[in-house]
Structure 1
Amino acid sequence: MNQHDHPLFELLRGKVSIAAMDLIFNEKKKIDNLFNHRSVCGHHLSTTCGLPCACQLSGYLESGQKVSVDAVDVFWRKLDFSPAYIIPDEKIDVREEMKKVTKHVLAQPESV
């Protein structure tokens, strides 16, 4: 079974990045350790990444709810899920590309 096939992730699949789902899955693995060793969650993932932390995930699991998209920071929601790639044989002149960007930015009105 793929780690993202867990019912907890049902509402997130296809709506948030795979990196976010990996982070949430790794946090889910910490739940047993958290309670077996009476550790403190610390809310690290929640405060630094805007993703549900172990104690929040345990609440979802106990109630049988699925993690909603609203529980994930907007940063992790992607509009385009097609892979990004660079053609390895293509030669890109970085200086020329930067000149184009600079020219475009300078052509903008000051208010922009």
Structure 2
Amino acid sequence: MHKMMACWISLALLAVIAYVSGITPPRGCSLVTSTSFRNTSRSRFSQFCKTVNDEEYPNRTWIGIKFIKTQCTICCAGINTTGHIHYNVSTLSKTLGDICKKRG
């Protein structure tokens, strides 16, 4: 029973973490091009985007392109070696989610 409950909780968390994704920018996210990925330094949000999406979309360079504080979400974009860009809106983890509570 506990294993089944843990499975359902895991599935629910995955649904929350990545609830919008695709090849076109979700509403409120900016369109990016391959030149957007040329910056070699990675922000904290870019690292988060890579961590959240790396299992399902491996071998991509990820950037965090828009932080939406009121929803505590980040728009992510990932590019693969052929230039295909994938977009995803992810809810920030508890570690990063603390910044959503700060005023600013």
TM-score range (shorter-chain normalised) is under 0.3
Select the structure of larger CA radius of gyration.
1
Structure with the higher fraction of residues in helix conformation: 1
Task: Tell me the TM-score normalized by structure 1.
Answer: 0.23
TM-score (structure 2 length as normaliser): 0.24
